[in-house]
Amino acid sequence: MRRSLKSCGLVLLAALALSSPLLSPPVRAQNPAQSNAGGLSLGDWLERYWTWYYGGEGAQPGRVRNTVFLPLPAGEPTEADPSISEGTLDVKLRPGERFVLPLFAYVGERYLEDLPDDDPAALPPGVVSDARILLKLDGKTLVDSELDDMSKLFIQTRYFPKPVVYQEPHEYAPDVHAVSAIWFQGFGVVQPPLSKGEHTIELFVYSDVGGFGYHNTWHITVGK
């Protein structure tokens, strides 16, 4: 791979280990990998999500009927550890809207230069599948990779029906420019509709193999 791994949220593992909510019984969300929410499987939803995300349709949430693609915050490296990024985003949802959220993923690409496409077999073993993941809603645990069967939330390498062409090439080096996404693998959830009012979603992830992480927070307002 010719650039750093792509991901959707992380924080330092030591901080997670000291977090007291990990000791309390987790609240369980609908199991998105088996529920076929909205008539689609988790893999189908994530395929649509990444197609929207890389298709350049702006910062507003994409949607399919009452299912919203939750946008990702623009994370910034923390001063304490530049390998850890933090990001925050405010989002408004209507009552009855569920949302799709990738938890941690890698997206393979095609390049402008005479370079081979990204090969899923070249990913370091466990860099995605063994990541530490903690997802919370209003302070209560929805997903905890140390307690849950994460295979139900994991999508093996899946190629897009056709390359998702970027509006502008992604430059990783002066002589390396990605022009489209061709496959993805990773974790995700489809969260059932939230009650009216204010909510907070927090996503912590850390990859020991990749040696990086981030912590994303969404402040969600559900109203008319």
Residue 132 confidence (pLDDT): 94
Task: Answer yes or no: is pLDDT of 137 > 90.
Answer: yes
- pLDDT for res 82: 83
3-state secondary structure of 185: strand
Residue 185 has pLDDT above 50, yes or no: yes
Q: What is the mean pLDDT of residues 44-73?
A: 84
Q: What is the mean pLDDT of the chain?
A: 82
**What is the average per-residue pLDDT within 145-150?**
92
Q: Which residues contact 218 (CB under 8 A, 6 or more apart)?
A: 70, 73, 88, 89, 90, 91, 200, 201, 202
Mean pLDDT of all residues in 47-67: 80
C-alpha 153/C-alpha 141 separation (Å) is 15
Identify which of 92, 67, 73 has the alpha carbon closest to the alpha carbon of residue 7: 73
What is the chain's length? 224
Whether 78 has a pLDDT exceeding 70, the answer reads: yes
Is residue 10 over pLDDT 80? no
